[in-house]
Structure 1
Amino acid sequence: MKEFTIGKNDAGQRLDRWLAKTLPLLPAPLAQKYIRLKRVKVNGKGSKRDVRLQVGDLLQLYINDEFFDAPTPENAFLSVFKPHLDLVYEDENLLLVNKRPGLVVHPDEHERVNTLITHIQAYLYQKKEWSPYWENSFAPALCNRIDRNTGGIVIAAKNAETLRIMNQKIKDRELSKYYLAIIHGRMNPPSGKLEGFILKDESKKQVRVFDHPIPGGKTAATVYKTLKVKGGLSLVECDLLTGRTHQIRAQFAAAGHPLLGDGKYGRERDNKQYGRSFQALYSYRLSFDFTTDGGLLEYLNGRSFQVEHVDFVDEYFGDK
């Protein structure tokens, strides 16, 4: 743990911006997580990221020592890290990146460097479009998340205005996200809507689906359409009307048709015969369907972007 006392030069800053300035090697998403977990204390208490610091405030940082190193070319990973990105689209405001399954989107206690946001930041750093050492620099940030073992399109903002607009559009459901999934069995009817209430169990990192309202539960709705059937498997397209944790995986499992390869919500013996160890789920298409002014991003309205190649579709439904 390290302590800092706020002087006149730092007074008036937001906590998260002071932290980014003081610890430039600490990735922005991890800094936000540490604030949420109360590993950054102001006068002995946890605090919100946007609190304004005052002269004399005592900050206690329960953060790993390596983040306190000075940012030099020798220890700044951005200059030597070789980013690997599958870009679906890029312009001056944002990136659409096809995240591969197995890659985490943000740093955590287990993986600090090899994450999607790190690849993106290194990519933009090496293009000289962004540097954490520029004064008042905005750190590229993700607008949406995808589970480690799910692949698909992730939106990354290059500037604060893009991040603000995208977060609002996602909240207002002015973006449409379509997934491809392979499920066990056949849906009856072949097309329809799965509706219910999802309750998250933080201790198990899992959710449960209920067909009635429950305290703490959130509504969940998924429109699905069966595209192909082959043997004991079905390829379905899903349109998320809500964006709950593990929504597609949990709802199809609750309907009696868990996703192929899903070890958390499916059955191991069913997955074993197909040789797949993680869920066959891919966020393959994204549409910008603004119903209100898109501001800086209005030029994206009406456009749709798609990942053309999804490996499990070819593997289980290709012509062989």
Structure 2
Amino acid sequence: MKELRIEKSDSNQRFDKYLKRVLPNASTSFIYKMLRKKNITLNDKKADGSEKLNTGDDVKIWFSDETFEKMAGTSDKDLLYYSIKEIDNDIDIVFEDDDMIIINKPAGVKSQKDAPSDVSINEMAISYLIASDQLSEESFKHFHPSVCNRLDRNTSGIVLFAKNLHAAQQLGAALKERSCKKLYRAVVLGRIDDNQQIEGFLSKDEATNKVSISEKETKDSKPIKTAYRPISHVGDDFTLLEIHLITGRTHQIRAHLASIGHPILGDNKYGNTIINKERKVRGQLLHAYSIEFEDGRKFVCDLPREFNGYL
């Protein structure tokens, strides 16, 4: 018999989905059969698999050791876990509690990997959890902690990382419903003196991974809203803006500001490559600066040193 105690990372999910993670080599029909026969119990009671798990729940699986190991694959070493364990875990932590980590992602690092050879802030954060004894191989088999929002590779700043399923659900809902307020800071070309909210329609070319902005709606375009206020100026040449991303589309801030004649300094996709070269800027000066949650908690991520001289 195998007895399992539900940890926080496994709570707030359906019992059958949890069992499928614990017993990945078992068929769904086999799991339901074991539930019906009370070979798998929840808090010493018969369960049908639809129950929502809570921290501290007791699961008993009445299998022989040989059957459990076969269904759970426990004799197999999790190669992904051990490969991530070796990754650099030197992340800049803005805030951490039992549920989440708020990370200051540097420019040049991806939020999540797009190819097997990539190393992203996501893998670095998982490696940090392993190194700090917060994530065991067994827990990793059931749930992979992950970032909840993505920044462009060359955008720095706040990335939210969920340690458990409950946090992933809560943060995901807050981001989707826009109940949290995200502010960015950017250095743009030209002088902007007034607060403004601009609107338009964004279309993406998948082949070039580039977007375009138009004033009128077109086929497959999506509405966008971007608000900003000037914070400081460098003469008439540059303005440091605080930007409220009201809608969150691919490359929205970069393309929207470029469309009104104020591209972000250092942005070679939508900006002025001649000025970028003259200023010798390493990467675009766009930074996810702060996030404020519905409960009033606010976290600020200091600007990178590349912003010095434009503040």
Q: With the length of structure 2 as denominator, give the TM-score of the two structures.
A: 0.73
Q: Distance in 2 between matches of 1:84 and 1:9?
A: 35
- Cα distance change on mapping 1:135 and 1:194 into 2, 3 Å: closer
Q: Identify the residue that residue 307 of structure 1 maps to in structure 2.
A: 301
Matches within 5 A, 1:93-132: 93-109=99-115, 111-112=117-118, 114-132=119-137
1:223 and 2:223 correspond: no
Please say if residues 197 and 211 of structure 1, whose CA atoms lie closer than 8 Å, have aligned partners that are also in contact.
yes
Superposition deviation, residue 308 in structure 1: 2.6
Matching residue of 2:253: 248
In 1, Cα distance between the equivalents of 2:79 and 2:202?
A: 46
- Please say if 1:194 is aligned against 2:194: no
Paired amino acid for 2:122: I
CA deviation map 1:246-282 (0-9, x unaligned): 1110001000111001100012112122111421100
The percentage of aligned residue pairs carrying the same residue is 32
- Which residue of 2 is the match for residue 82 of structure 1? 88
| Shift in CA distance, 211/261, structure 1 to aligned 2, threshold 3 Å | same
Q: Which residue of structure 1 aligns with residue 78 of structure 2?
A: 71
Flag the structure with more relative contact order, 1 or 2, with Cα contacts below 8 A and sequence separation at least 6: 2
**1:110 & 1:139 partners in 2: Cα distance?**
16
Q: Supply the AA of the counterpart residue of 1:312.
A: E
**Counterparts of 2:247 and 2:127, CA distance in 1:** 32
| TM-score between the two structures when normalised by the length of structure 1 | 0.71
Check whether the contact 1:78–1:126 (CA below 8 A) recurs between aligned residues.
no
Distance across 1 between alignment mates of 2:117 and 2:287: 22
Secondary structure in 2 aligned to 1:273? helix
Aligned mates of 1:82, 1:272 — CA distance in 2: 31
- Give the counterpart of 1:239 among 237, 244, 252: 244
Unaligned stretches of 5+ in structure 1?
1-7, 14-68, 290-300
Report Cα offsets for 1:194-214 as digits up to 9, x if no partner.
Answer: 211111111111100011111
Residue matched to 1:297: none
Q: Structure 1: how far apart are the matches of 2:284 and 2:140?
A: 42
- How far 1:72 moved relative to its partner? 6.0
1:272 partnered with 2:277: yes
How far apart are residue 136 of structure 1 and its match?
Answer: 5.2
- Which digits, 9 at most, give the CA deviation of each residue in 1:199-248, with x for residues without a partner? 11111111000111111111111110011110311100001101111111
Residue 153 (1) aligns with residue 169 (2): no
Equivalent AA in structure 2 for residue 102 of structure 1 = G
Q: Please report how far the alpha carbon of residue 81 of structure 1 lies from its aligned counterpart in structure 2 after TM superposition.
A: 2.9
Q: CA RMSD in A?
A: 2.3
* Contact preservation (8 Å) 2:287, 2:303: no
Three-state SS of the structure 2 residue aligned to 1:168 is helix
Indicate whether 1:260 and 2:279 are aligned: no
- CA gap 1:228/1:11 in 2 versus in 1, 3 angstroms: same
Relative distance call for 1:309 and 1:12 in structure 2 (3 A) is same
Aligned residues: 242
2:16 is the alignment partner of 1:10: no
Task: Give unmatched runs, 5+ long, in structure 2.
Answer: 1-23, 30-75
> Per-residue displacement from partner, 1:14-71 (whole Å, max 9, x unpaired)?
xxxxxxxxxxxxxxxxxxxxxxxxxxxxxxxxxxxxxxxxxxxxxxxxxxxxxxx953
Counterpart residue type for residue 226 of structure 1: P
- Cα distance, 1:160–1:151 mapped onto 2, change above 3 Å: same
Q: Per-residue deviation at 1:110?
A: 6.8
State the alpha-carbon separation in 2 of the partners of residues 116 and 280 from structure 1.
Answer: 19
Give the AA of the match of 1:12. Answer: T
**TM-aligned CA deviation for residue 171 of structure 1:** 1.0
2:139 counterpart of 1:134: yes
